[in-house]
Structure 1
Amino acid sequence: MGLLTAFVGFASSFAVVLHGLAGVGASEAQAASGLMALSVSMGICAIVLSTVTRLPVSIAWSTPGAALLASSGAVEGGFATAVGGFLVCAALIVVAGLWKPLGRMVAAIPATLANAMLSGVLIGLCFAPVKAVAFDPRLGLPIVLAWALVGSINRLYAVPAALLAFIGVLAFGVDIPAGALAGLADSLLPRPEFVTPAFTVAGLVGIALPLFIVTMASQNIPGIAVLKVNDYTPNPGPLFATTGLFSLFSAPFGGHAVNLAAITAAMCAGSDAHPDPAKRYWAAINAGIFYVIFGLAAGAVTAFVSLAPPILIEAVAGLALISAFAASALNAFREPESREAAAVTFLVTASGVSLAGISGAFWGLVAGGLMLALARFTARRRA
């Protein structure tokens, strides 16, 4: 179960991470370094937390956060500014774990608006599979069909199947220069790239704050809920703070954020991991070991992916996010009284418009919050 958890966690969303880091200005080498730093950090974090707590604490990178980066676009100051935002986000996660008022403030953000912001971030990437088929049906269609057919049997394996189809398309449908294959062999050794961070207002407001909110609301808080559903009673604060510390370690090497896992947490915490609930933490420990191994191969993974037209790996990333988009959109528009505010949040975020160098995700949350506050103020006046 540990190996399966690591494979599903890595294979199903590494494309989103690469696309997100590239979206905020990372070079191929910096994106590979970020992927490696994230995978190694979350692997060690899972090993440490699961060993200390004797709970199946699964750790993941922030997939919604990577999707946020992809939709934000390059920030003024380049990737160094984005890394500065990653560091601030990590520090906020540590503070949220140690200082309860900040944790309560995050929990107080209306779930409908947080989900509307997330769905607005995700929708652009979810268009990628359709664009890939239109770009070249011979290349895009096998990826989509593999995802659909395998997903109809077992949703857990849908994205890994799409990834295998991508590899097949790349091997048999794309002309790869011989020199590129030689270069692939050179990338087998891990090469961390240290990035000197730059701290700006645009990086703080456009990267750090939305990344913090989406990571806490879409990953850390649901991760605690998954453990509780499986009859475990973790203390959330230390877990949040520890993921923030490991995010601090990975940020200077290009990693945006690590956090508690949700989907893979259910794999390690469920009865399939072990009949005895007291021994299931070994699944999370083993997953951490394999995450470290996969992370050390991140350079080769990134170099291999770069051989294909970008739209194809974007298609894999988009397929990986469809279920997350569906869930966030459903939760965003569930409540009638906040539906209009959620719609404003979604539309402003999805527009991709940046104002004053700050991404649309932040402005979407602000616009939706103002609409919700106005609606509640009007309702009180009428009462």
Structure 2
Amino acid sequence: MSSHQQHGSFSLLKRIPADFSVSALIVGLIATMVSYAGPLLIVFQAAKAANLSDALLSSWIWAISIGSGLTAIVLSIRYRTPVITAWSTPGAVLLVTSLSVYPFSDAIGAYLFSAVIITLLGVSGLFSTIMRYVPPAITTAMLAGILLSFGVQVFVSLQELPALALPMIVCYLLAKRWMPRYAVVFSLLVGLIAAFLLNRFELGGIQVALVQPIFTLPTFSLDAIIGLGIPLCIVTMASQNAPGISVLQADGYDTPASPLITTTGVASIILAPFGAHGINLAAITAAICTGKEAHPDPSKRYIAGIACGAFYLVFSMFGATIASVFSAFPKELIAVIAGLALFASLSSSLASAMSDMSQRESALITFLVTISGISIAGIGAAFWGLVAGVIANLLLSGDVRKWRALGRTKA
């Protein structure tokens, strides 16, 4: 590293304390909570279906946690952008039905295969090239479709547990008027107090123990690569990395996609033998950290990415323990705070998607397909919403010149 680069890195590290804010720290914590309270439970389901031991499960959680934490910190600092990474949630869903079919060492080999392909897509720049030809209105419509269910769950929770949800919503609205920067923070505090007073914490199942990572020597079988590795690669790129890039773009961050995909791919390769099925860009938790709730100044929201990564690292040391802690929280608390934290991103995504008259119908089709929840060939609705929107845009506008140019570029 040259002296100039060293000076630049040192200057950037010096800025972190000056850019620090409590709101960004809390938003980072909320993003981590949402990851552990929801997607991690799918990992538990997959491990149970495959009859994995508690030790292997704990190692798996450690691997995906430390991978998410390190990549989020490094990328957020490098690009001064709230780059949030996580484990592949649709990948974990795939494993619920597929992991038990193969020996665990073959599954690890499939993880490695998937990670290598994703890394190559990042290094080659092919993923970035494809994303450049997708209109912004379509990507923001896809993001809005992903976020919509979280906003709806705020009011579903209001019906299920009004004594908890109503004070949180009222607190959020009042804080948005008088102290908007801390609206989510105050709402979380009110929710925790209400849950305690309502005796809704289930603390009996919490067990504390440090993790002991287990290295599994990978083996490779054609069946596992075709049946697990290739689908895992597709759903990770289509349902995680593509929406993850869209989240950053929707909030005005022009961060290059290739190094982000490459970095998470390399992390996946390193951690696969310890059980990590895939590290990738986050979408839902990223939207929590990229919006105004983290900080009014977009250039200072990267602190939320660093905070999220730091919490991942802390929690990674306790393996499966942390999941039992967050499962002790009432599900309504998690649903309400996640939805409220995403209100700003949802509203801005909807506004952006519908702002261009020439692409409004394409964006609407993307939005509707995404919220439909359809799954084809194991690939989720977010990807098919993107595909439907691009096809609709081509049919409606008739402009195929860009796609011909893309074909020449690939050739």
Q: Give the TM-score normalised by the residue count of structure 2.
A: 0.67
For residue 243 of structure 1, report the CA deviation from its aligned partner.
3.7
- Tell me: CA distance 1:354–1:12, structure 2 relative to 1, closer, same or farther (3 Å): closer
CA–CA separation in structure 2 for the residues paired with 1:223 and 1:36: 32
Could you tell me which residue of structure 2 aligns to residue 209 of structure 1? 238
Provide the C-alpha distance between the structure 2 equivalents of 1:169 and 1:357, rounded to a whole number of angstroms: 39
1:314 aligned residue = 335
- Alignment partner of 1:20 is 2:39: yes
Change (3 A) 1:285 1:126: closer
Distance 1:116-1:208 versus aligned 2 partners, 3 A rule: same
Counterpart of 2:191 (choices 161, 166, 177) is 166
Q: Residue 225 of structure 1 aligns to a residue in which SS?
A: coil
2:355 to 330, 334, 339: 334
Aligned partner of 2:276 in structure 1 is 253
- Rounded to whole Å, the distance in 2 between the matches of 1:40 and 1:111 is 32
Residue 76 of structure 1 and its aligned partner are, at CA, apart by 7.3
Q: Distance in 1 between matches of 2:370 and 2:348?
A: 17
* Alpha-carbon distance change, 192 to 9 in structure 1, aligned in 2, over 3 angstroms: farther
Query: Which of 323, 330, 345 is 1:324 aligned to?
Result: 345
The 5-angstrom pairing of residues 46-61 of structure 1 reads 48=74, 56=80, 58-61=82-85
- The question of whether the paired residues in 2 share the 8 Å contact of 1:97 and 1:240 is answered with yes
Structure 2 portions without partners, runs of 5+: 1-16, 49-53, 101-106, 219-223, 402-411
Amino acid corresponding to residue 338 of structure 2 in structure 1: A
Aligned to 1:373: 394
SS in structure 1 of the partner of residue 210 of structure 2: coil
Pick from 366, 371, 374 the counterpart of residue 345 of structure 1: 366
* Structure 1 counterpart SS, 2:84: strand
SS at match of 2:398: helix
Where do residues 73-112 of structure 1 align in structure 2 (5 Å cutoff)?
74-75=93-94, 77-78=96-97, 80=99, 91=116, 94-112=119-137
Q: Which residue of 2 aligns with 1:218?
A: 247
Q: Decide whether aligned partners of structure 1 residues 100 and 92 sit closer, same or farther in structure 2, where only a CA change above 3 A counts.
A: same
Distance (whole Å) between structure 1 residues aligned to residue 341 and residue 36 of structure 2? 11
Q: 1:246·1:258 contact (CA, 8 Å) conserved in 2? A: no
Question: Which whole-Å CA distance do the structure 2 matches of 1:288 and 1:209 have between them?
Answer: 23
Cα contact 1:344–1:364 (8 A) shared by 2: yes
Q: What residue in structure 2 maps to residue 45 of structure 1?
A: 71
Contact 1:32-1:302 within 8 A present in 2 as well? no
| Farther off after superposition, 209-218 or 22-31 | 22-31
Q: Name the CA shift for 1:340/1:84 in 2 (closer, same or farther; >3 Å).
A: farther
Of 161, 184, 189, the match for 2:210: 189
Q: Distance in 2 between matches of 1:338 and 1:316?
A: 32
Alpha-carbon spacing, 1:13–1:152, altered in 2? closer, same or farther (3 Å): farther
Q: CA deviation at 1:60?
A: 1.9
Cα distance in structure 2, aligned partners of 1:246 and 1:316: 30
Deviation, 1:91, is 4.9
| Displacement of 1:190 | 4.2
Contact 2:28 2:307 in 1 (8 A): no
Aligned residues: 355
Within 5 Å, which residues of 2 pair with 1:136-147? 136-147=161-172
1:292-307 correspondence to structure 2 within 5 Å = 292-296=313-317, 299-307=320-328
In the alignment, what sits opposite 1:276? Answer: none
Letter in 2 for 1:61: T
Q: Is the 8 A contact 1:220 1:240 kept in 2?
A: no
Partner of 2:70: helix, strand, or coil? helix
3-state DSSP class of the match of 1:109? coil
CA shift, 1:152, in A, is 3.1
- Cα 1:258–1:352 change in 2 (3 A) is closer
Deviations 1:179-238 (A, max 9, x none): x44x42x23534769999861665454454222211223238968537xxxxxxxx7754
Aligned residues of 1:85 and 1:207 also touching (Cα < 8 A): no
CA deviation after TM superposition for structure 1 residue 258, in Å: 4.2
Pairwise CA distance, 1:99 = 1.6
1:117 to 119, 139, 142: 142
Larger mean Cα displacement after TM superposition, 78-87 or 141-150: 78-87
